[in-house]
Amino acid sequence: MSALDTILVVDDDEINRKVAGLFLQRMGWKTDQASSAFEALEQLQQHEYHCVLLDISMPGMSGIELCLHLRGNPRWHDLRLIAYTAHAMSDEQEAILQAGFDAIVTKPLTRDSLVAALATPAG
């Protein structure tokens, strides 16, 4: 399995990371996990990923802030980013997509919503 068969799951809530990881592993993906945007940045420096499933509301640096940082760096400009959030209102979703995310998955996570987000074309 190559690095591009791996998805980085970023969420400050351990249960949310485990649930997402289990869904992805059952779908055949390898997963790495990070509990903060800062930890995610460290892992992104060391590994390549197919995509990042990124929680929006995290202490320290939000998922939107990390998304903007990644989109501003040529190394990660084309990295597939999927927002993973409880913020389901349409105006909130529009702001998330405007920040540079490729797709949004709302919590609670379902297998179907994850499949749909992974199938959404990047950009």
Domains and CATH numbers, the chain: 6-119 (3.40.50.2300)
Q: What is the pLDDT of residues 67-102, one digit of tens each?
A: 999 999 999 988 999 999 987 788 899 999 999 999
Is the Cβ–Cβ distance between 22 and 1 less than 8 Å? no
- Cα–Cα distance for residue pair 47/14, rounded to 1 Å: 21
User: Is the pTM here over 0.75, yes or no?
Assistant: yes
In this prediction, residue 87 carries a pLDDT of 75
Amino acid at 108: P
Percentage above 70 pLDDT, the chain? 97
Instruction: Copy the structure tokens of residue 6.
Output: 């791996």
In this prediction, residue 89 carries a pLDDT of 85
Please, what are the averages of pLDDT over each run of 10 residues along the chain (123 residues)?
Answer: 82 96 95 98 96 96 96 94 88 92 93 91 71
In this prediction, residue 17 carries a pLDDT of 96
- Cα–Cα distance for residue pair 33/8, rounded to 1 Å: 6
